[in-house]
Amino acid sequence: FGVVKLAAPQGTDLTGDGSLLGTVDYLSPEQVRGEALDARSDLYAFGCLVHTLWTGRPPFEGPVVTRLWHRARANPPRLAERAPHAPAGLCALTDALLARDREQRPSSAREVAERLNRVLAELPARREEGPANVLFPSGLVGRDALLERLTSRCARVRSERSPASVGLVGQAGVGKSTV
């Protein structure tokens, strides 16, 4: 999620004071403010990911400096405003994950998983779409003449009752296996 905690021997400085480590779109407000981090910083990053998956864009947009300022000082847009089709329970969870004050975020990944399971349980049942339901043979578009020639040659080989073969050659990906 862009949140990294590096373990290093004591006395090894990996970054200087005031430096940020992570992907701007997933940094928590406390990271931007240079405060101590805990698991709720990762949960904030997860909230950013959920928001982006449902809306197609991160919670904060614009130049990096603007995004960092808003992340540290402003509340993000509510998921329901940007994705009105999202389930209400998911919107509430995402808004909680993106709370500027980490004390208002879920306290653990387990709590987030439990809430996600409740959201899933509230969704209407849907017929499972398995591979057999969504994959259709593509057919052989534009291969009628080729199929006629192959069929004709195979018939001739069978009728002559002599050793012969028919080969089908071509570049990779042109549909030889389908023919």
SS (H, E, C) 137-179: CCCCCCCHHHHHHHHHHHHHHHHHCCCCCCCCCCCCCCCCCCC
> What CATH architecture applies to the domain 24-124?
Orthogonal Bundle (1.10)
Contact 20, 27 (CB under 8 A): yes
Q: How far is residue 108 from each of residues 42, 80, 103, 115, measured CA to CA in Å?
A: 10, 23, 11, 11
Residue 136 is predicted with a pLDDT of 56
Of residues 22 and 151, the one with the higher pLDDT is 151
pTM score of the predicted model: 0.60
What mean pLDDT comes out for the span 116-131? 79
pLDDT at 118 over 50: yes
Q: Where are the domains of the chain?
A: 24-124
